[in-house]
Amino acid sequence: MNGSSFRGVMVYSENPSLLLELLAAGRGLADKLGAPLSAVLIGGEVGGERREEAIRHGADRVYVLENPRLADFNVETYKAALLRVVEAEPPEVLLIGGTKRGKELAPRVAAALETGCMTDCISLEVDEEGRLVGRRLTYGGSTVAEEVCLRKPQMATIPPRVYERPEPAERRGEVVALEVEVPEPRVRVVERKEKRRAGFRIEDAPVIVAGGRGIKKREDLKLLEELAEVLGARVGCTRPLAADYHWLEEWIGLSGHKVKPDLYIACGISGTIQHVAGIRDAKVIVAINSDEEAPIFNIADYGIVGDLYKVVPALTKALKEKLGK
């Protein structure tokens, strides 16, 4: 594709709420580039509300690709749809929502377009030369890399909850429907099973009380549960407690869930790089650990050096009194 023919910022996510967050990221970039922002909607049928919603949240143009074969997400068919839009309006920047599905789609599209893609960007900007610069975690989350994409379309994926969904406004936008030839998908879904996880996701918890190997027995998790109850919090843990001991199902960190609560209370957690990678975005971090040298204190806002078996119940009691519960 010819370098000068690329124009504008295009965003796509199969996840409707992430798409709105991408519109927030895309709006900033489009304004800086002085170029239009477009959103892509793909599906068997795409309702009118979704088109309106995209426009109200910042899209200047909405591309709609409808086809019975696009009713369910499939990498090959969705790739075909996305390539169709890129062909119609080659964008300078193409952002894809960093869900698992988005992250298997983006590199496949990037390979087809022979371009680069920066995975899981935590911030994106356009530099003086008009190039897309992304910041993303590397080395297991222990470092942040600043990268630039030198080919077009410049691609990046953005994980959920990095950008805030923009305020809706009454705006005008154009809706363009595109015909697309969809191949017969080769990968066939035989069965779908809902995860048996209790509906509420730890990523959405405003407060998290987390335990590490400082907790000696499974029964002792009760201490954390009691504290969580007064705080309206969820209980989380480090990997050994879930993966090795099976006390809980999910863990927090690099290979587990990445969370960003207002308050994170780490009890008996040493603060390894792999765990900290998952709590980097917490607003306030509290650490309770008996070892004053524990690295967790270097990344905490407030630390209590002490035995969690004494401090946690004391904290539960103090909170009960203060919050009148």
**239-258 positions binding ligand FAD, by CB under 6 A:** 239-240, 251, 253-256
The smaller minimum CB distance to ligand FAD, of residues 201 and 325, is found at 201
Long-range pairs of 237-246 with CB within 8 A, sequence gap ≥ 24 = 237/210, 237/211, 237/212, 238/210, 238/211, 238/212, 238/213, 238/269, 238/272, 238/275, 239/274, 239/275, 240/212, 240/213, 241/211, 241/212, 241/213, 241/215, 245/218
Whether omega for the bond prior to residue 153 falls within 30 degrees of 0, making it cis, is yes
The smaller minimum CB distance to ligand FAD, of residues 178 and 245, is found at 245
The 200-229 site mask, x for binding ligand FAD (CB under 6 A), equals ------------xxx---------------
The smaller minimum CB distance to ligand FAD, of residues 12 and 297, is found at 297
CA–CA dist 42, 40 (Å, integer): 7
97-128 CB burial, b ≥16 within 10 A, e <16: bbbebbbebbbbbbeebebbbbbbbeebebee
From the list another protein, ligand FAD, none, pick the one residue 123 interacts with, judged by a Cβ distance below 5 to 8 Å according to partner type: none
Stretch that binds ligand FAD, among 81-89, 104-112, 225-233, 269-277 (CB under 6 A): 269-277
Is the CB of residue 103 less than 8 Å from the CB of residue 157? Answer: yes
From the list ligand FAD, another protein, none, pick the one residue 193 interacts with, judged by a Cβ distance below 5 to 8 Å according to partner type: another protein
The smaller minimum CB distance to ligand FAD, of residues 157 and 238, is found at 238
Residue 274 contacts ligand FAD per CB under 6 A: yes
The smaller minimum CB distance to ligand FAD, of residues 149 and 279, is found at 279
From the list ligand FAD, another protein, none, pick the one residue 240 interacts with, judged by a Cβ distance below 5 to 8 Å according to partner type: ligand FAD
What are the structure tokens assigned to 141, written together? 């989350």
Query: Which chain residues interact with ligand FAD by CB under 6 A?
Result: 212-214, 238-240, 251, 253-256, 268-270, 272, 274-275, 278, 288-291, 294, 307-309
